[in-house]
Structure formats: C-alpha cells, structure tokens
Structure 1
Amino acid sequence: MTTDTTGAGRATGRGRRPRRSHGSSIMLTSGLAIALAVVLVPFYWLVIASTHSSQEIFGSPPPLLPGGHLAKNLSTLQETASFGRVVLNSLGIAALYTLCAGTVCTLAGYAFAKYRFKGRDPLFGLLMLGLVIPAQVTLVPLFKLMAELEWLNTYQAVIMPNLALPFGIFLMRQSMAVLPDELLDSGRMDGCGELRLFVEVVLPPMKPALAALGIFLFLYQWNDFVWPLIVLRDGASYTIPVALASLQGVDDTDYGAILTGTAVAAIPMAIVFLALQRHFVSGLLAGAVKE
C-alpha cells in the first residue's frame, strides 16, 4: 500500500506560502511607513513652524503644535516683499513657461523621432550635451544677450532662454519613438496635413508623457532661483525664491516669515503634482523606451 504524499506536500506548501507572504507584506508595509514618515515629517514641521515666530522656532524644545503667528508672518511677507504680487508673478511665469517650453519640446521631440533629415543624429547628440554642461557656464553669455536685447528686468528674460530644454526634448523624443510609423502613414494617406496629423494622431497617445513633461517644466521654473535673481532687478517683478532670499538680512532674519512663504510656495507644486500624478509615472516610463 502506497501513501500519496504529493497532496500533503502541496497542502504543506500551500500552508507555508501565506506565512512568507504575510511576513513580506509586514516588512514592506513597515518600510513604506518609515519612508513616508521620513518624507512627511519635514513638511509637517514646515507647516508648524510657519505659524510661529523666529524666537519660538529656535526655542527648546522646538514647537510641534500650531502657533498663533501665521497672520503676523503673512502680514510681514506682504509688507516687506509684496508677497501677493510675487506669488502671481511666479504663477504667471511658471504657467507661461510650461505652455511655451512644452510646445517647443514636444515639436522638437516629434521631429527628432519621426522625421528623417540630414544631420539629425549629430544635431540630437549636440543637443544632449546640454544635459552634461553645467548651467552656470551659460550665465554670462545669456546675461550679455539679454542686455543687448534690452530684456533685463522683464519676464521674457526669465522665460525665453530655457524654452528648448534638453531633457524635455529627450523625454518627448523617446516617448514618440514608440509610435508606429504605419499609424502616421495611414493618417497621411487619409489626407491629414502634418499639423492635423500631429494634433489628432500623435498627441492623444502622448498624454502621459505630456503630463510628466508639464510637471517637470512647471517645477523647474517655479523653483528656479539663480537666473531670475540675475535678470530681475525690481522687487515688484521678483519670483518667490528671489523674494524669500531677499528677506534674509545680515543682522536679523525673520525665519517665521520665510518659512511661511516657503509653505505657501509648496501649495501650487502639490496641486500640480496631485492633478497629474496618474499620468506621471507612465509618462516617465514611456520616455525610458530604448530604440
């Protein structure tokens, strides 16, 4: 008489797997909880500190609950830096830059991905050098160019120099490279012009990549500090990073007001990311496709 141990072995195997899976799930959840805490604690402290005065912020122990200086900090920001206008400046510049740079990068990426022209690959390689050249190298020639154009202390001086952003072009080129050429040829055979083909055939599948590009461009311009600091001379035209830097004094600095401004500056970034987050990861993965 033989004993069938196969079923028992399978049952035993089935019985052990949930234990390993449960343990792995606990470890994964714990790791994610720790990572979430590491990310959120600085933001929590930023919000809490923005409601306190400088003396309370540097007190011992540091504040962990909301205080009563938020209105005072906002009033100080408005009085010393016209912060309401500064926020509007940053929103307008970042939105306009995202629209213009997104259009340039999308069109350039489409041209590099789907058109064959002489010197295309060397030109793309030259463009990619912009990813390894430090931005500080271009500050002096760009400043001279803005001065010759009489664009200093204007918004176009902030927006125009970085419209053809190498990373944006690279992202869109890699995303559009996966579009089947047969789809484009079919559209041309149906009588689509190049502009209509681009708008109605190419752009709809590119929504994830466009969302990723939009987030990157908006945050890039919103957080830019060095270039606006160089070309903007009037406090009324400052962006948020420049205005907050101007609040730092030699002898006295109101850190409560600065942290309040920083907390306010984080709100639009969070809104943009949350609005487009569903497409963000898939857009970046689409840009990672290798030909």
Structure 2
Amino acid sequence: MDILYIACDFKVKPVQPGTEILIAELGEAGFESFVENEEGVIAYIPKSEWKASCLDDIYILQSGEFEVTCKTEEIAQVNWNEEWEKNFQPIAVDGVCTVRAPFHEVPSTRYDIIIEPKMSFGTGHHETTHMMIQHLLKLDLKGKKVLDMGSGTGVLAILAEKRGAEAVDAVDIDNWCYLNALENVERNQCRAVSVFEGDATVLEGRTYEVIIANINRNILLEDIPVYVSCLQPGGTLLLSGFYKEDMPVIEELCVKFSLSFVENLERNRWVAVQYKYENV
C-alpha cells in the first residue's frame, strides 16, 4: 500500500535566510524531504505523522521576522531518489570543474567532483556555490590550510584539496550535512579533508590561509570576527550566501576588521566576495 504524504508549500519573504532556517526547523519536526524554489520550499511529511499542530513550534512562523504563507495538499508516495536522479543534472563551471552524481558519465573537465547531496546544500547549482567554485579555481591553494565553513555537501572542501590544499577543515552545524560531507569526502578519495560537526566554536585555536564561508548574512555578520581571528596575515576570506543589497553592511564590518576588498562576483542578485586580511 502506497504511503500518502502531505506537501506543505511555503512562500517565504525574504527567501534567504528564511528558507534555510525554515528547513532546519521542519527537519526537527519530522518533515522528510524538501524541494527549494525561488519563492521558498515545499516540505513533505508522511500523512500518518501530520497534524496542523506540527507547525506550532516552528519559531520562524511565529517570530514576525519573516513573512511566511503555507498551502497543504495530499499526495501519493514519491520515490525521492528517482525524483532526484531525474532532476539533478551535472554542471560544469567555467569548463574546468564538473559537479555530478555517481550515475553521470565521467566528464573531460580537469576537476571531477562526485556528490550525492541528500538533504545537504551545495551541488553547484545554487548561485552561491557556483561562484565560490569560480573563486577557488582562480586562487593558488597549493600547500595551504583551508577552512570550508558551512560546508554542506563538502563540495568546496573537496575542490580545495583537488586544487592542492595541504589540509582542509569542513565544518557544518547540521548533522545531515556533516554525515553527507563525510560520505562525499570518501567518495572523492580525499585524504586532506577533515569534517567537523559544529559552529564557529570549533575553530578555537585553529589558523588558516584561506577561509570559505558560504552561509547567510546573519551568521556571517556574527562570525566574521571569529574568521578573522583564525586567518593568517595576508590570508584570503571568501564570503557568500547573501544578496547584493547586503554588501554595504558586510563591507562595513570587513573594513572594521582589516579586510580589504579584492573581487566580487554576482549571479541573480547573489554575491560572492573575496577579501584579503591586511592585519594592520
């Protein structure tokens, strides 16, 4: 007998970081799968576990910080793996780096990264991950210590090793991401990548020459001082996960902490910016 699901279609304003926060809370409430879109996310939960009160303890819905609407409908069981395989296409960044699933053909690009994202963020399809890959392809990472903060699938940490990094720490607070990154690191036969579950407190006593932080505006504003404390003089900080409109407040904080602007990439209002730590 097929399992029936309830699909909750959430419209979120602003979409980010609202959608990211909402998914994290819904996962704790028993929702099994999520499909993000330009307006928010569709979340799925078995009908047997669904009741309207499932949403009562979702903080983001009650906080007033975000405008969230929800429509629900009943659907038949979905083969999530089949749906994912049908919709997930490999991507090639600048003709140099391919991000693909294990069932895709081996590409001819210089860097081949194999990812099974499951519920984790970071396939290269999202603008921020795509731009971070572009930044990493231009940086000299040979022999350097790198941090991938908010690592998701681990795709950026994996690329950093393939680009010659001597040691890479991949850190994410979400358990799904932590476990998924471990799998993807092994799948890509990485030897220099260490995966950690936690937040910025994990970084105490560690130093890096390159720090990648693809998270969201609010977390970045809170943690940039921590990143700077871990960044070696002359080091590089890559930031993404926010919109073009957020650049002034990000820039103001970065200047305060002796970070000088180097380069900015933009895709569909999303931004990925490179800073150098001057340590003045």
**TM-score bracket relative to the smaller structure:** under 0.3
TM-score (norm 2): 0.21
Structure ranking higher on relative contact order (CA contacts 8 Å, 6+ apart)? 1
| Higher percent of residues as strand | 2
User: In proportion to residue count, which structure has more helix?
Assistant: 1
